[in-house]
Structure 1
Amino acid sequence: EPVFPVFNFSRWFLFSSLRSNRIEWCYEARIRSTVLQGLPFGGVPTVLALDFMCFLVRLTCISWDYGRLALVSDLNGLCTKDFCVCMSVSVCVRCIYVVCFLRDDEIREKCGEDAVHYLSFQRHIIGLLVVVGVLSVGIILPVNFSGDLLDNNAYSFGRTTIANLKSGDNLLWLHTFFAFFYLLLTVYSMRRHTSKMHYKEDDLVKRTLFINGINKYSEEGQIKEHFQQAYENCVVLEARICYDVARLMYLDSERKKAERSRKFYTDLMTREHIPTMINPKPFGHLCCCIIKGCEQEEAVGYYTKLECKLREEYKSEREKVNTKPLDMAFVTFQNETMTSVILKDFNACQCHGCHCRREPKSSPFSSNLQTSKWTVTYAPDPQNVYWEHLSIGGAKWWIRCLVINCMLFILLFFLTTPAIIISTMDKFNVTKPVEYLNNPIITQFFPTLLLWSFSALLPTIVYYSAFFEAHWTRSGENRTTMHKCYTFLIFMVLLLPSLGLSSLDVFFRWFFDKTFLDNATVRFECVFLPDNGAFFVNYVIASAFIGNAMDLLRIPGLLMYMIRLCLARSAAERRNVKKHQAYEFQFGAAYAWLMNVFTVVMTYSITCPIIVPFGLMYMLLKHLVDRYNMYYAYLPSKLDKKIHSGAVNQVVAAPILCLFWLLFFSTVRTGFLAPTSMFTFVVLIITIIICLSHIVFGHFKYLSAHNYKVNVSVWSTFMSHIIYTVWQARVVSLYLSINLRIMFPSGRHPRGEDSLIDNEVHQ
């Protein structure tokens, strides 16, 4: 009969209490890991110098054409003073200088409200780290220096860590107190941040509801009559059913690209009076000879035929739009009060047996509309919606999401951390004895650089998994990216390397296998080895200099830009690619990266206080880099408030992990029943219960704690135009060229691609 492995807590505490001095074992195990090696001050000075030099080298790359191409997408169509300054010779220095003095109002006008909230979040994190740095370096660091457990060497990194104190030292109570105090400081800082998150009146709409689950064959008039009859004094301004316009939007986009290319070559032939020949095959411009299958065609004729073909397909699809309704609709009411009443009626819980939702108010149309199956929420902002993804829903969306995330989990299950690569490099080191590798460049710089490289590469896979899930809104996509990337980064960067584990596979074996602790080579004493903290200090330094420099270069965008240039079939298409390579700022990935480094810094702020100044340095550079990128390199995006609130809830995990690290250290050094261990354990449990209660019970609220405020019917105007254009089978062209200009008379451009197209055509 199979025996399922169960984690035995009593045996784990017995294992930790029967500890012995295994420092020699940890250093002798460097064949298994290059992280745990005794080096002068942990190799921090060498890594700091190398990373700073790399940072300076990468700054010289910012003045390339790629760094300025995104500036072509000036949203207001004007060459402002700041824009002209950035196009000058000293583009890097002057642009950073300008960004340092930008006011929030300027950023809000250029980049949107979400950019202001994100930068405010960073400023509060910076202020928090300033206070934590003063306390950690001014109080905790001298306390650690006062110990005499480690060597009295001025160059010993271990003297700065908590490992320098004896297990029974009363000064350990000070560390526990400060860990709890840091938790309170974090909560207070985030509270100040959320109190300043005020949206403009025209940013979020409370008079329009998004209804999902309606009968596909319902009529808009029936929906309107249902609400007006079921709810007293209810006035419905508009009820609009959604249609599947994904292919229609795609065909219209391709048709306009062909039209622009035809116009480009027509103008060229008018000027030069010479027809241009192109090879329309993929990578055709790379062919150096004319062979069968790679024949050249006259450019104007080719794009004229392509445009006619796409126009016919567009007309055919346009006629089918009305026959492809979706089970969702947008309903705009006269006032906010009625919207709140209806929202409460559909979402209030009243348990009866197995059913937890009460039946909403009915009307003679309820049966035909299937109101009992409706899911009613506030309508997202029009700029926040992926209209082409609305047709992917129900079981189809869940199956798609399940398959993508299963593939992602299998990949990350075995490739969680670069410790696998590091240990493999050690095992196959046949050129030099291991003793000759006791060098900071080999043992600290390359492992931390490799860790940063993996922590930059693999989250990109996580991001694209969220992209292929086809979320209905940009906010949902960014929230999913933020939570998945942050969880993955914490496991890869912090938890598993700290525990001496190489992947989730080893982690689950360690946690559940009852024989693993007896036979495994994991030694918990090695977790708090002094040089283990130095590894994370070096990681933060690498993130500060190399990571932020790579953010300035925007490597993922550069790679996509190169691929699109290679796939372009003609000079006209390459011209379009150069003008359309700017994309929206990814708040989800940015939040995940920021909170990952912040969590590492806070977790080791007590056990290794010297990490805090480097964490503050990272945050300052990150703040300047993000201000520069959002203002000059990215298009503005429109999200909802949930992603910013989710980041606030998620950042509290950092001081909680700090408490957990102290509990782990105290348990290993003094045992679980020691006073410091018990006190830390009680504080940790109370904190987790409070946080979970706040998050879990918050999900049961059918209204957000942050109320939407609006006085103008943005959605009424938008839905009137967008559905009318669908009904007239010109949804994309009129929506992008006329309707959004009506909605945004001040000139704010909600989406970047089509403004770039218009600018290009009229040049």
Structure 2
Amino acid sequence: MILSALLTSVAINLGLCFLFFTLYSILRKQPGNITVYASRLVVEGKVKEGGEFNLERLLPTAGWVRKAWEPSEEEFLSNSGLDAFVFMRIFIFSLKAFAFGGIIGMFVLLPINYSGSQLEDYSDFQHKSLDLFTIANVNNGSKRLWIHFCAAYAFTGVVCYLLYYEYGYISSKRIACLYSSKPQLHQFTILVRGIPVPRGRTCNDVVERFFQEYHPSTYLSHSVVRRSSKLQNFIDVPAAFVSFKTRFGAAIALNIQESINPTEWTCEQAPEPHDVYWPLFTVSFIRRWISKLVVFVACVYLTVLFLIPVAIVQGLTHLDQLITWFPFLKGILRLSFVSLVVTGYLPSLILQMFLSFIPPVMVMLSSLQGSISWSLIQKSACTKVLLFSIWNIFFANVLSGSALYRVNVFLEPKDIPRVLAEAVPSQASFFIAYVVTTGWTTIASELFQLPKLIFNFINRIFRRKIGDGFEPPSIPYHSEIPRIRLFALLGVTYFILAPLMLPFLLVYFCLGYIIYRNQLLKVYVPKYETGGGYWPTVHNSTIYSLVLMHVIAIGIFGLKKLPLASALTVPLPVLTLLFNEYCQKRFLPLFKDYPAECLIKKDRTDQNEQNMPEFYDKLANAYNDPALLPTKYSESSDSHTSPLLHGSAT
């Protein structure tokens, strides 16, 4: 890609972003759009529908930026919850890391890359290839490559320090939220599956006798999961929600093996009652294991199938190849503006259109694995979407062409750095355009909310007032976090290869921080809490990105005839993995379970609460199966309890 094609893409996307911001600043002030741009405030009763026409409402303003910026971190945490707080810390962490990387990259590495003469390009500046701004243009054997070597070490050190700080900071917030919260139903409850019910006995009696015998001092009550006859075909071994008098008592039952047979009396932490995913979650151990295997095969099949649109996209980035495919379009494609749009803007747009179908598919696949809650389904889908994105957006594009058919080189680990070092820099221009096209426009469209705006307009034609069925949306973490982490992976990977990408990434993270802060305060309502459970995924993906950068750097220095730098880079991924191992031992256990110290302190504090008897009464009936309740569901019922339970309620 030439520089003018990138500038064309930047201009198009800047125009779209400006259009979205302008329309948003006008439309958000219109009374009829209040359920689109302030749905959370509507539910909380802070704003109301209605109002008279005012000419000032037609003037674009940026007051929403100031209002989104004003709340402190503590105010944001108390208002939006720990998951939203962690989501925003992803942007803060990325801004810190790439601010440092951007300074080194733009003012040190980029001039070195551009001043090299390894690549010959005698065209004028606007028609120069973007490859001239990459490490590929540095002369082989040049001593200047040692600056890239030092930059890799410095950037890795800064990123690891920031990771350690964020892991510790979020861990402390997780503990603080436990101490400051009121008693929560799920903290006292576990789900027990694989209950062995002898012939002639009932599940209810078996559960009660078991826990009264082995947990006599802490057992409180239980609720057996039952299904109506229409769902019996989906159920094997029975299950029950078992509640305890203290959090510590529930933790003990959760973390010890209850039976000699590990497939019986298996325990899991219960989700919040409204977060329970009732359909199919009581399937047996064997069926859950088979389901996971089937889902894995389906994910692999989908990943392979997606190589088709990737190949199409890569064909668009090479104009000569496109003319070979479609010779009848040669005249049109030779037009300057058309070629700039086709090679600089269209590929990323097409790829994003195909990718938009992936998150809902991954949610569907995750729901088939026997998860007990909607939050677990989304966390599982988040991991699947992230892995899918890394392979199909990064590796599939990088290894497109001849390298794609040399998969056998990965059977020789020593060849991996060389293959990646040859392939990754050549795709720098595509990924820079991808950040601009997909990143900027997607983040701006999040603010504009076009589909919801259209739906709201149609809805207003038939119903002028906000009805009882109105339900504000929740942020789709399973699609947003993988997108953010993919951009971070591109930034880390191309830090020493193509530092020109970093300013565009910084723009993306700045836009994302202020836009999502606005959305979480005004639009999205948290439907569940994982206690910051998404941060370990962020940490792991960052470590993976660093190691990938190191492997590519080892290959690059080898190709550039600087074997000593290549050898001295080898300790870098080892040190990074050792650092990761320390963080996993130091912080990860706090995200799996609360320590006994915290649980006992919180339980002792609850002893002074006067409303604990009422809380225990509520706990006894909190996990009753909705399949056995009278049908009272409206059209706005949560998707994870309808329509499957609609026809099965008794």
Match of 2:218? 235
CA distance in 1, matches of 2:79, 2:293: 38
Match of 1:213? 194
1:373-407 CA-partner distances (Å, limit 9, x unpaired): 12123322334322345345544444455445534
Match of 1:390? 281
- Contact 1:207–1:335 (CA under 8 A) maintained in structure 2: yes
1:534 aligns to 2:438 (yes or no): no
Partner of 1:471, secondary structure, is coil
Match of 1:595? 485
1:660-704 CA-partner distances (Å, limit 9, x unpaired): 221232233338xx1222222342245346647976999999963
The change in CA–CA distance for 1:526 and 1:344 in structure 2 (over 3 A counts) is closer
1:430 aligned residue (321, 328, 337): 328
* Counterpart AA for 1:719: L
User: How far has the Cα of 1:493 moved from its partner?
Assistant: 2.1
CA distance in 2, matches of 1:683, 1:699: 23
Partner of 1:430, secondary structure, is helix
Match of 2:473? 583
1:100 aligns to 2:69 (yes or no): yes
Match of 2:380? 480
User: How far has the Cα of 1:242 moved from its partner?
Assistant: 2.1
* Counterpart AA for 2:101: V
Match of 2:644? none
User: How far has the Cα of 1:458 moved from its partner?
Assistant: 3.7
The change in CA–CA distance for 1:663 and 1:325 in structure 2 (over 3 A counts) is closer
User: How far has the Cα of 1:597 moved from its partner?
Assistant: 0.7
The change in CA–CA distance for 1:118 and 1:219 in structure 2 (over 3 A counts) is same
Match of 1:654? 545
- Contact 1:243–1:325 (CA under 8 A) maintained in structure 2: no
Partner of 2:551, secondary structure, is helix
1:138 aligns to 2:138 (yes or no): no
CA distance in 2, matches of 1:96, 1:468: 41
Matches within 5 A, 1:748-763: none
- Contact 2:195–2:238 (CA under 8 A) maintained in structure 1: yes
1:162-205 CA-partner distances (Å, limit 9, x unpaired): 12222212222222232233223222222222223223233765
User: How far has the Cα of 1:424 moved from its partner?
Assistant: 5.5
Match of 2:525? 635
The change in CA–CA distance for 1:571 and 1:400 in structure 2 (over 3 A counts) is farther
CA distance in 2, matches of 1:620, 1:174: 28
CA distance in 2, matches of 1:58, 1:108: 28
CA distance in 1, matches of 2:420, 2:247: 61
User: How far has the Cα of 1:579 moved from its partner?
Assistant: 5.1
Partner of 1:244, secondary structure, is coil
* Counterpart AA for 2:362: V
User: How far has the Cα of 1:580 moved from its partner?
Assistant: 3.9
Partner of 2:15, secondary structure, is helix
Partner of 1:52, secondary structure, is helix
* Counterpart AA for 1:338: G
* Counterpart AA for 2:94: I
CA distance in 2, matches of 1:463, 1:629: 22
More off after superposition, 587-596 vs 221-230: 221-230
CA distance in 1, matches of 2:36, 2:254: 42
Matches within 5 A, 1:132-281: 132-150=101-119, 151=121, 156=128, 157-197=130-170, 198-199=173-174, 200-201=177-178, 202=181, 206-215=187-196, 218-220=202-204, 222-231=206-215, 234-244=217-227
- Contact 2:225–2:239 (CA under 8 A) maintained in structure 1: yes
The change in CA–CA distance for 1:726 and 1:404 in structure 2 (over 3 A counts) is closer
- Contact 1:242–1:327 (CA under 8 A) maintained in structure 2: yes
1:45-64 CA-partner distances (Å, limit 9, x unpaired): 22211110122233355428
User: How far has the Cα of 1:125 moved from its partner?
Assistant: 1.7
The change in CA–CA distance for 1:472 and 1:558 in structure 2 (over 3 A counts) is farther
Match of 1:332? 243
- Contact 2:41–2:523 (CA under 8 A) maintained in structure 1: no
More off after superposition, 712-721 vs 412-421: 712-721
Matches within 5 A, 1:602-681: 602-641=492-531, 642-670=533-561, 674-681=563-570
- Contact 1:437–1:443 (CA under 8 A) maintained in structure 2: no
CA distance in 1, matches of 2:442, 2:52: 22
CA distance in 1, matches of 2:327, 2:516: 40
Match of 2:270? 379
2:443 aligned residue (548, 554, 566): 548
CA distance in 2, matches of 1:475, 1:173: 47
The change in CA–CA distance for 1:753 and 1:684 in structure 2 (over 3 A counts) is closer
Partner of 2:10, secondary structure, is helix
CA distance in 2, matches of 1:162, 1:592: 28
- Contact 1:585–1:635 (CA under 8 A) maintained in structure 2: yes
User: How far has the Cα of 1:609 moved from its partner?
Assistant: 1.0
Matches within 5 A, 1:359-374: 373-374=264-265
* Counterpart AA for 1:431: L
The change in CA–CA distance for 1:525 and 1:111 in structure 2 (over 3 A counts) is closer
1:48 aligns to 2:29 (yes or no): no
CA distance in 2, matches of 1:694, 1:470: 30
Partner of 2:257, secondary structure, is helix
User: How far has the Cα of 1:86 moved from its partner?
Assistant: 14
Matches within 5 A, 1:557-576: none
User: How far has the Cα of 1:134 moved from its partner?
Assistant: 1.7
User: How far has the Cα of 1:210 moved from its partner?
Assistant: 2.4
Match of 1:489? 389
CA distance in 2, matches of 1:82, 1:144: 57
CA distance in 2, matches of 1:446, 1:718: 56
User: How far has the Cα of 1:333 moved from its partner?
Assistant: 2.4
List runs of 5+ in structure 2 lacking aligned partners.
Answer: 317-321, 607-611, 642-650
CA distance in 2, matches of 1:82, 1:394: 49
Partner of 1:332, secondary structure, is strand
1:225-282 CA-partner distances (Å, limit 9, x unpaired): 4334335x7232222222237989xxxxxxxxxxxxxxxxxxxxxxxxxxxxxxxxxx
* Counterpart AA for 1:538: A
User: How far has the Cα of 1:600 moved from its partner?
Assistant: 0.7
The change in CA–CA distance for 1:176 and 1:75 in structure 2 (over 3 A counts) is same
1:499 aligns to 2:399 (yes or no): yes
User: How far has the Cα of 1:621 moved from its partner?
Assistant: 0.7
